Chains A and B, each alone.
Chain A
Amino acid sequence: MRRAALFLGLFFLWAPIALMVGYAFSDGRTPYIWGGFSLRWFHALAANERLLEAAWLSLRIAAAAATLATLLGLVLGWVLARHGPFRGRPLFGALAGAPLVLPEVVMGLAFLLLIVGLQGLTGWPAQRGAMTVWLAHSALGMAFVAVLVQARLAALDPRLEEAAADLGAGPFTIFRTITLPLITPSLLAGWGLAFTLSLDDVVLASFVSGPGATTLPVYLFSALRLGLTPEANALASLLLGAAAALLLAFAIAAKGWARVETPPSRE
Chain B
Amino acid sequence: MRAAGWLALGVLVAAPLLIVLAMGFSTATSGVPPVIPPWGASGWQGSLEAWGLVLSDPFYRDALWQSLRLAFLTATLCLVLGFGMAMGIAAVPPARQFTWLALVLLPFWTGFLLRVSAWVGLLRDSGWVNGMLMKLGLIEAPLRMLHTEGAMILGMVHAYLPFAVLPLYASLARRDLTLEEAAADLGAGRWRVLFTITLPLAAPALAAAFLLVFIPAAGEVVIPELLGGPEALLVGRAIWQEFFQTLDWPVAAALATALLALLLLPLAAFQRLAAR
Contact = CB atoms under 8 A, between A and B. Distances in A.
Partners in one complex: yes
Interface of A: 2-10, 12-14, 16-17, 19-20, 23, 30-33, 72, 75-76, 78-79, 83, 86, 88, 92, 95-96, 98-99, 101-107, 109-114, 116-117, 120, 135, 138-139, 142, 196, 200, 202-203, 207, 217, 220-221, 224-225, 228, 232-233, 235-236, 239-240, 243-244, 247, 251
B72 interface: no
B206 to A, nearest CB: 15
A101 B81 contact: no
Contacts of B5: 75-76, 78-79, 92, 96
B109 A196 contact: yes
Contacts of B106: 240, 243-244, 247
A13 B12 contact: no
Given A110-B20, A114-B19, A225-B226, A101 B9 contact: no
Contact of A32 (B83, B109, B122, B221): B122
Given A98-B13, A139-B12, A109 B252 contact: yes
Given A5-B85, A113-B19, A202-B113, A12 B128 contact: no
Interface stretch (B42-50, B195-203, B212-220): B212-220
A196 B112 CA distance: 11
B182 interface: no
A224 B13 contact: no
Nearest to B83: A5
A116 B222 CA distance: 24
A155 to B, nearest CB: 14
A28 to B, nearest CB: 12
B239 A109 contact: yes
A171 to B, nearest CB: 11
Contacts of B141: none
Contacts of B143: none
A221 B109 contact: no
14 contacts: A9-B81, A9-B82, A17-B107, A19-B121, A19-B128, A32-B128, A103-B218, A196-B109, A220-B113, A220-B114, A221-B222, A224-B116, A235-B114, A240-B106
A83 B5 CA distance: 11
Contact of B85 (A6, A101, A104, A228): A6
Contacts of B117: 220, 224, 228, 232, 236
B8 A236 contact: no
Given A2-B91, A101-B267, A113-B20, A202 B222 contact: yes
Nearest to B98: A251
Contact of B88 (A2, A86, A225): A2
A6 B110 contact: no
Contacts of A202: 112-113, 221-222
A16 B239 CA distance: 30
Contacts of A104: 216, 219, 221, 236
B33 A116 contact: yes
B13 A101 contact: no
Instruction: Return the 7 tightest CB-CB contacts between A and B, nearest first.
Output: A103-B219, A5-B84, A6-B88, A243-B109, A110-B16, A139-B12, A16-B118
Interface of B: 1-2, 4-6, 8-9, 12-17, 19-20, 23, 33, 81-85, 87-89, 91, 98, 100, 102-107, 109-122, 124, 126-128, 131, 157-158, 161-162, 165, 211, 215-216, 218-222, 225-226, 236, 239-240, 243, 249, 252-253, 256, 259-260, 263, 267
A14 B88 contact: no
Contact of A95 (B13, B116, B122, B221): B13
Nearest to B15: A114
Contacts of A32: 121-122, 127-128, 131
B221 A203 contact: yes
Given A103-B219, A235-B114, A79 B259 contact: no
A9 B2 CA distance: 44
Contact of A12 (B17, B111, B158, B252): B158
Given A110-B20, A220-B114, 17 more contacts: A3-B88, A9-B82, A16-B122, A17-B118, A79-B5, A96-B13, A103-B215, A103-B218, A103-B263, A106-B239, A109-B256, A113-B249, A116-B33, A142-B12, A200-B112, A220-B117, A236-B114
A139 B14 CA distance: 11
B177 to A, nearest CB: 13
A142 B121 contact: no
A75 B87 contact: no
B20 A79 contact: no
Contacts of A3: 88, 91
Contact of A106 (B82, B112, B115, B259): B259
A104 B223 CA distance: 13
